[in-house]
Amino acid sequence: MTLLEGSVGVEDLVLLEPLEQESLIRNLQLRYEKKEIYTYIGNVLVSMNPYQQLPIYDLEFVAKYRDYTFYELKPHIYALANMAYQSLRDQDRDQCILITGESGAGKTEASKLVMSYVAAVCGKGEQVNSVKEQLLQSNPVLEAFGNAKTIRNNNSSRFGKYMDIEFDFKGSPLGGVITNYLLEKSRVVKQLEGERNFHIFYQLLAGADAQLLKALKLERDTGGYAYLNPDTSRVDGMDDDANFKVLQSAMTVIGFSEEEIRQVLEVAALVLKLGNVELVNEFQANGVPASGIRDGRGVQEIGELVGLNSGELERALCSRTMETAKEKVVTALNVVQAQYARDALAKNIYSRLFNWLVNRINESIKVSTGEKRKVMGVLDIYGFEILEDNSFEQFVINYCNEKLQQVFLEMTLKEEQEEYKREGIPWVKVEYFDNGIICNLIEHNQRGILAMLDEECLRPGVVSDSTFLAKLNQLFSKHSHYESKVTQNAQRQYDHSMGLSCFRICHYAGKVTYNVNSFIDKNNDLLFRDLSQAMWKARHPLLRSLFPEGDPKQASLKRPPTAGAQFKSSVTTLMKNLYSKNPNYIRCIKPNEQQQRGHFSFELVNVQAQYLGLLENVRVRRAGYAYRQAYGSFLERYRLLSRSTWPRWNGGDQEGVEKVLGELSMSSEELAFGKTKIFIRSPKTLFYLEEQRRLRLQQLATLIQKTYRGWRCCTHYQLMRKSQIVISSWFRGNMQKKRYGKMKASALLIQAFVRGWKARKNYRKYFRSGAALILSNFIYKSMVQKFLLGLKNNLPSPSILDKKWPSAPYKYFNTANHELQRLFHQWKCKKFRDQLSPKQVEVLREKLCASELFKGKKSSYPQSVPIPFHGDYIGLQRNPKLQKLKGGEEGPILMAETVMKVNRGNGKTSSRILLLTKGHVIITDTKNAQAKTVIPLNSLARVSVTSFKDGLFSLHLSEISSVGSKGDLLLVSEHVIELLTKIYRATLDATQIQLPVAVTEEFSVQFKEGSLMVKVIQGPGGGGTGKLSCKKKGSRCLEVTAQ
Q: At what angle do helices 335-365 and 258-275 cross, to 10 degrees?
A: 160
Residue 535 and residue 533: Cα distance in Å, rounded?
5
Residue 631 and residue 652: Cα distance in Å, rounded?
9
At residue 277, φ and ψ (nearest 5 deg) are: -75, 110
Contacts of 279 (CB under 8 A, 6+ apart): 291, 292, 293, 294, 317, 318, 335, 338, 339, 342
Q: Measured on CA atoms in the order 776, 779, 785, 788, is the torsion positive or negative?
A: negative
Helices and strands in the chain: count of H runs, count of E runs: 32, 31
At residue 157, φ and ψ (nearest 5 deg) are: -75, 120
The distance of Cα 118 from the centroid of its chain, to the nearest Å, equals: 24
Per the rule left: phi > 0, alpha: psi between -120 and 50, beta: everything else, 995 is: beta
Per the rule left: phi > 0, alpha: psi between -120 and 50, beta: everything else, 184 is: beta
Residue 366 and residue 798: Cα distance in Å, rounded?
85
Residue 70 and residue 43: Cα distance in Å, rounded?
8
Tell me the sheet residues that pair with 672. 679
- Pairing between strand 1002-1006 and 1011-1018? antiparallel
Contacts of 22 (CB under 8 A, 6+ apart): none
3-class SS of residue 864: helix
Count Cβ atoms within 10 A of the Cβ of residue 431 and give its class: 0-12 exposed, 13-18 middle, 19 or more buried: exposed
> Would you name the residues annotated as active-site residues?
103-104, 108, 153, 156-157, 383, 385
> How many Cβ atoms from other residues are within 10 Å of residue 665's Cβ?
6
Q: What angle do CA 842, 843, 849 make, to 5 degrees?
A: 90
Q: Measured on CA atoms in the order 134, 135, 139, 142, is the torsion positive or negative?
A: positive
Residue 573 and residue 286: Cα distance in Å, rounded?
53
Residue 259 and residue 450: Cα distance in Å, rounded?
42
Where does 562-630 show beta strands of DSSP type E?
582-589, 627-630
Residue 312 and residue 534: Cα distance in Å, rounded?
6
Element housing 791 (H / E): helix 771-793
DSSP 511: E
Q: Which amino acid is at 943?
A: V
Q: Which amino acid is at 969?
A: L
Q: Measured on CA atoms in the order 644, 645, 646, 647, is the torsion positive or negative?
A: positive
Residue 907 and residue 945: Cα distance in Å, rounded?
17
Where does 810-894 show beta strands of DSSP type E?
none
Q: Measured on CA atoms in the order 548, 552, 554, 555, is the torsion positive or negative?
A: positive
| Greatest CA separation for the chain | 163
What SS3 string covers 356-385? HHHHHHHHHHCCCCCCCCEEEEEEECCCCC
Q: Measured on CA atoms in the order 678, 682, 685, 689, is the torsion positive or negative?
A: positive
Where does 920-1008 show beta strands of DSSP type E?
920-925, 931-936, 940-945, 952-957, 969-972, 997-999, 1002-1006
Residue 398 and residue 907: Cα distance in Å, rounded?
117
- Pairing between strand 156-157 and 1037-1042? unpaired
Length of the chain, in residues: 1043
